[in-house]
């Protein structure tokens, strides 16, 4: 029985089955999409290939936007030692933007981990590389080959620790990984490498005055449902903004000004070109049961300056043009004002 409980393949498949049947639909995007277990036959593979009899079928996670998730900002909750983490981040010689980004990243990761804990799964191999591939930004939490499902037999000779202690250990490991990255200023280094600039210039981008900047409407598409239909978290939205930047520092400036924007979410079906509103400024307005049609939908997030006079109908027209007519991803106020209801 212990050998069976320690089998990495069985651990992984059990964890994904448990997630599929117990995790709320809003939190499934924290993890790779699971499609079941596939039987393998030798005829399909060369003799030199070490073949297992079965394989787990998962979403193909790639180091680009197609695999990334936009996570929403949700009401704060207490995490073990989180206040200590924030205090240590605050003491580092980083810009205010960098500190906010690392704090946002910590919250996003802890929410993914907490979703596991809430359905009775301990990851047991939580580390930085299991939140992201060979890439800088996070995609999903994966690799459950060492996981343990609460109330199943404990397969190890060491005495079982209290569940809350094990949860606190995993939360502490998440915070420790991010704190180590923050101490290395690795966000700054990543931006410098991406833009082919020195780090001093990046620091200037992160600290320059935010005065006299003309805000524009920003449209972002994603295949994956967010966990909440609210304003996006800084860490999750940053790579999407980076991907559409018209100038080198644009995504940094817009991220620093994120609180100056309001958000609206829409669903759209590429086959039918149908667009429906989901939420406006965090208030849901979707009339159907989104959980039932989630697999058919793509999603559109519109960030619009809070200082603009915006109504839901014009935003819906804008969303339809973005989804079906190639508008965006950045729309100036004059262009948006030209939309007639």
Residues 193-229: tens digit of each pLDDT = 999 999 999 999 999 999 999 999 999 999 999 999 9
Q: What is the DSSP letter of 145?
A: T
Q: How many helices (H) and strands (E) does the chain have?
A: 12, 10
The reported pLDDT for the residue numbered 6 is 67
The reported pLDDT for the residue numbered 102 is 98
Among the ranges given (122-131, 158-167, 311-320), the one the predictor scored with the smallest mean pLDDT: 158-167
Residues 101, 186: Cα–Cα separation, whole Å: 11
In this prediction, residue 50 has a pLDDT band, given cuts at 50, 70 and 90, of confident
Identify the H or E element spanning 268.
strand 261-269
Residues 65, 22: Cα–Cα separation, whole Å: 27
In this prediction, residue 290 has a pLDDT band, given cuts at 50, 70 and 90, of low
Q: Are residues 114 and 171 in the same domain?
A: yes
By three-state DSSP, how is residue 305 classified? strand
Which two tokens mark 155? 């397969």
Distances from the Cα of 129 to the Cαs of 100, 135, 166, 217, in angstroms?
A: 21, 9, 20, 34
What is the bridge-based pairing of β-strands 34-39 and 54-58?
A: antiparallel
Q: Residue 3 above 60 pLDDT?
A: no
Q: What is the mean pLDDT of residues 292-316?
A: 87
Q: Are residues 181 and 124 in the same domain?
A: yes
Q: Are residues 138 and 237 in the same domain?
A: no
Q: Are residues 62 and 172 in the same domain?
A: yes
Q: Are residues 34 and 154 in the same domain?
A: yes
The reported pLDDT for the residue numbered 294 is 57
| Owner of token pair 């180091």 | 63
Q: Residue 286 above 80 pLDDT?
A: no
Q: Are residues 173 and 220 in the same domain?
A: no
Q: Are residues 122 and 223 in the same domain?
A: no
Question: What is the pTM for the complete model shown?
Answer: 0.93
The reported pLDDT for the residue numbered 178 is 98
Q: Are residues 18 and 118 in the same domain?
A: yes
Q: What is the mean pLDDT of residues 304-333?
A: 94
* Count of all residues that appear for the chain in the document: 341
Judge whether 221 lies within some domain.
yes
Write down the H helix ranges in the chain.
2-6, 8-22, 82-91, 96-118, 163-183, 186-195, 199-207, 234-243, 250-256, 290-293, 312-325, 333-337
Among the ranges given (26-35, 206-215, 289-298, 302-311), the one the predictor scored with the smallest mean pLDDT: 289-298
Among the ranges given (29-43, 56-70, 133-147, 254-268), the one the predictor scored with the smallest mean pLDDT: 29-43
Judge whether 314 lies within some domain.
yes
Which of residues 158 and 125 earns the better pLDDT score?
125
Percent of the chain with pLDDT over 70: 93
Which two tokens mark 220? 């972002």
The reported pLDDT for the residue numbered 131 is 98
Q: What is the mean pLDDT of residues 178-205?
A: 98
The reported pLDDT for the residue numbered 156 is 65
Q: Are residues 174 and 64 in the same domain?
A: yes
In this prediction, residue 139 has a pLDDT band, given cuts at 50, 70 and 90, of very high
Which among 188, 218, 253 is the end of a domain? Answer: 188
Query: What is the overall mean pLDDT for the chain?
Result: 91
Give me the domain span that covers residue 43: 2-188
Judge whether 276 lies within some domain.
yes
Which among 188, 218, 237 is the end of a domain? Answer: 188
Q: Are residues 183 and 214 in the same domain?
A: no
The reported pLDDT for the residue numbered 198 is 98
Residues 206 and 220: beta-carbon distance below 8 Å: no
In this prediction, residue 106 has a pLDDT band, given cuts at 50, 70 and 90, of very high
In this prediction, residue 297 has a pLDDT band, given cuts at 50, 70 and 90, of confident
Which two tokens mark 24? 């709320």
64-93: b (≥16 Cβ within 10 Å) or e: ebebbbbbbbeeeeebbebeebeeebeeee
Q: Residue 140 above 90 pLDDT?
A: yes
Which among 135, 156, 188 is the end of a domain? Answer: 188
Judge whether 202 lies within some domain.
no
Distances from the Cα of 118 to the Cαs of 12, 79, 112, 163, 170, in angstroms?
A: 18, 13, 10, 12, 13
Which two tokens mark 99? 């500190």
The reported pLDDT for the residue numbered 284 is 80
Q: Are residues 31 and 125 in the same domain?
A: yes
The reported pLDDT for the residue numbered 292 is 60
Q: Are residues 85 and 231 in the same domain?
A: no
Number of domains in the chain: 2
């Amino acid at each position: 029985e212990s050998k069976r409980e320690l089998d990495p393949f069985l651990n992984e498949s059990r964890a994904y089955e448990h997630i599929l049947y117990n995790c709320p639909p809003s939190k499934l995007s924290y993890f790779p999409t699971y499609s079941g277990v596939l039987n393998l036959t030798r005829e399909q593979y060369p003799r030199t290939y070490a073949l297992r009899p079965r394989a787990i079928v998962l979403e193909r996670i790639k180091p680009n936007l197609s695999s990334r998730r936009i996570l929403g900002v949700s009401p704060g909750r207490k995490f073990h030692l989180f206040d200590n983490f924030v205090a240590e981040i605050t003491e580092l010689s980083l810009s205010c933007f960098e500190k906010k980004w690392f704090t946002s990243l910590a919250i996003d990761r802890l929410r993914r981990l907490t979703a596991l804990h809430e359905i009775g799964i301990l990851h047991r191999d939580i580390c930085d590389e299991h939140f992201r591939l060979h890439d800088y930004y996070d995609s999903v939490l994966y690799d459950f080959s060492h996981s343990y499902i609460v109330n199943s037999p404990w397969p190890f000779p060491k005495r079982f620790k209290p569940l809350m202690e094990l949860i606190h250990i995993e939360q502490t490991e998440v915070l420790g990984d991010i704190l180590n990255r923050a101490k290395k200023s690795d966000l700054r280094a990543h931006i410098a490498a991406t833009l082919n600039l020195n780090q001093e210039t990046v620091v200037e981008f992160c600290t320059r005055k935010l005065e006299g900047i003309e805000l524009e409407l920003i449209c972002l598409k994603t295949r994956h449902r967010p966990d909440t239909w609210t304003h996006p978290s800084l860490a999750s939205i940053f790579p999407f903004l980076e991907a559409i930047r018209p100038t080198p520092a644009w995504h940094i400036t817009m991220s620093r000004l994120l609180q100056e924007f309001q958000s609206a979410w829409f669903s759209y079906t590429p086959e039918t070109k149908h667009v429906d509103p989901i939420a406006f400024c965090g208030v849901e307005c979707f009339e159907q049961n989104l959980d039932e049609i989630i697999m058919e939908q793509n999603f559109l997030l519109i960030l619009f300056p809070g200082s603009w006079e915006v109504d839901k109908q014009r935003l819906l027209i804008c969303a339809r043009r973005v989804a079906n007519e190639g508008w965006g991803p950045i729309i100036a106020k004059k262009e948006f004002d030209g939309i007639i209801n």
